[in-house]
Amino acid sequence: MITLPAEFFRTPYAFYEQLRSAGPVHRIRLRTGVQAWLVVDYDAAKEALRHPGIRKNPYSPAGVRARHAAAGDGRVIPANQRLSHHLLYADPPEHSRLRKLVTPAFAPARMAALAPRITAIADELLDGIDRAVDATGRVDLLAEYAFPLPITVICELLGVPVEDRARFRDWSAAVVDTPMATPQRMVSATDAIVDYFDRLVALRHTKAHGDDLISHLLTVTDDDGDRLGHDELISMAFLILVAGHETTVNLIGNTVLTLLTDPPRYRALHNDPDAVAPLVEEMLRYNGPVNVATMRYTAAPITLGGTKIPPGELVLVALASANRDERHFADPAAFHPDRSSNHLAFGHGIHFCLGAGLARLEARIALTRLVGRYPELRLAVDDDDLRWRESILIRGLQDLPVDLAGAAVDSAMR
């Protein structure tokens, strides 16, 4: 039984490389005692993400049995079950029904129309960064830019007060990584989320519907008149809140970090904003925001990557490892923005991330505006001093200290 090494959260890629050399699928134990099968190579990951014998719903009878069996001497994290009626926990045919109702809200044209507002939010945050600089000329770019930008976008999309974004961040941190969370924090966070969205949806019912996403989802129907139920609606709002900002926060943070370790590449973007889009796409492969996809379990005996897995077993798909598979990507440990992209950062199959277009748009705008404003930005600490989140699911920093001294362009030149 393989356990995660102490340095896993800082340097997962060396660990994944060793596992890939020994085979595509491995039995692991998390520090909570939970046992699962970890899928580490590209082909096996892609197969697992679309395999009909692998399911998602953790509250189905088979899902409950699988979670309890995997816990062994560990624990199963409790959560408010009213938040379980969303796409990530749904299997066909229920998944198809929910996706059909929700997909129009994320249509490419609807997302593209957000670009001017996202740009304005980015500029407002950059205007405030100088006020956040400490006596040393440093600022935490994660706290002052990479986090507030996507959470503000999501708050505005959902029609919730932006001043609530601090509590959203706390809730998200508690629930985003179930295998590593504490039971008390999980219960508190998920109960608070249910209460919050219960009140918000009730308010939307009593007032004229606006252009926000919750109002849209309240009224959307399919050709047969089907619509989202109340708990489906609050579950979708919860999913949009968490997934809608976590991936983007860490995509922005990881991208800026990678660029600041190669200052000439960062500075070159100042005069070549068209290079941002392929650079973001390569970052999704190279050091994307999702380490391991959300948990799945086998509903029947399967063979994956030549490994036989019994029914009722948890399956974890290491997207970060699959995207560095040397059998699929040439020179995978190198950052090459000009490479052809076919990464799995947003998943694959029916659970491909619905908000992928929005995450890409926000990351491109965030990076373009940042480099435009601060072409001489510098990393304020050594790589070894950076702190990574201890998360199985998320690949992201706890903070990103940068040096603003002399980094900004003159306001008249913008």
Structural domains in the chain, CATH included, are 2-413 (1.10.630.10)
Contacts within 8 Å (CB) and 24+ apart, 113-118: 114/153, 114/157, 114/358, 114/361, 115/361, 115/365, 117/153, 117/156, 118/149, 118/153, 118/361, 118/362, 118/365
Nearest to 394 by CA among 201, 152, 160, 147: 147
* Cβ–Cβ < 8 Å for 121, 252: no
Residue 135's pLDDT is 73
Say which residues have a Cβ less than 8 Å from residue 88's Cβ, sequence separation at least 6.
Answer: 56, 239, 243, 294, 351
Place of tokens 């006596």: 135
Q: pLDDT digit string (tens) for 300-323?
A: 999 999 999 999 999 999 999 999
Q: Is the dihedral of CA 69, 71, 75, 76 positive or negative?
A: negative
CA angle 331, 335, 337 (to 5 degrees): 110
Q: pLDDT digit string (tens) for 253-294?
A: 999 999 999 999 999 999 899 999 999 999 999 999 999 999
User: What's the rounded Cα separation, in Å, for the pair 379 and 398?
Assistant: 15
User: How does pLDDT run along the chain (414 residues), one tens digit per residue?
Assistant: 899 998 999 999 999 999 999 999 999 998 878 899 999 999 999 999 999 999 999 889 999 899 888 886 555 556 788 888 899 999 999 999 999 989 988 889 989 999 999 999 999 999 999 777 777 788 999 999 999 999 999 988 888 887 887 788 778 777 775 555 567 778 888 899 999 999 888 888 776 567 788 888 888 887 778 888 989 999 998 888 888 888 999 999 999 999 999 999 999 999 899 999 999 999 999 999 999 999 999 999 999 999 999 999 999 999 999 999 999 999 999 999 999 879 999 999 999 999 999 999 999 999 999 999 999 999 999 988 999 998 889 999 999 999 987 666 654 444
User: What's the rounded Cα separation, in Å, for the pair 128 and 144?
Assistant: 8
